[in-house]
Amino acid sequence: MKVTKLILMLILGGFAAIPSWAQNKSSQDEIKKIAESKEYTIDVNIALPMRGRNIPLTSHYSLEIKKDSVISQLPYFGRGYNIPYDGGEGLNFEAPIEEYTVKTDKKGNIQVEFSTRSQDDALDYRIKIFENGSSTIDVSMQNRQSISFIGELNRNAEHK
């Protein structure tokens, strides 16, 4: 199971390892501009729980950044350590964003990091957006196991 997750991450990382001379600078700049605008959505299609196999998602799930808030509509598969009796809201909530940063890594990929608090938990999000718009989302929480997602950047209407 861990081997499958490792192979998938290596394949996805392989696509990101395009030589720097082949990357389109204007595309990188456009993606960075979108990330800095704090107006975008990532549509998620695969969940990567810490334990178990990768889960293809058939329903619509997304992470939306709207200026100073995040609308998280993501499934959760994993172990909870200290959660409410009814299970709480998990990764389905809307909350203000704290400490939002945008960086470009050595390979030219855009990295976004921010923190937020839901009613149940404190969460740290790490998003990596590749040149072609594919994205990974890593979510770390205090009261639950971490989980990752793979999806696509959905450029909101004003950025198309």
Mean pLDDT by groups of 10 residues along the chain of 160 residues? 54 49 66 92 93 88 93 83 61 92 92 91 93 94 89 68
pLDDT at 51: 83
Question: What is residue 52's predicted lDDT score, i.e. its pLDDT?
Answer: 78
What is the residue range of 75's domain? 2-15+24-159
CATH number at residue 140: 2.40.128.410
pLDDT given for residue 81 in this prediction: 67
pLDDT of residue 90: 67
H-type helices in 17-90, by residue range? 25-37
| Model confidence, pTM | 0.77
Secondary structure tally for the chain: helices H, strands E? 2, 8
Tokens representing 153?
Answer: 């950047």
Domain count, the chain: 1
> Burial letters for 108-133: b for 16+ Cβ neighbours within 10 Å, e otherwise?
bbbebebebebebbebbbebbbbbeb
Which pLDDT value is given to residue 22?
42
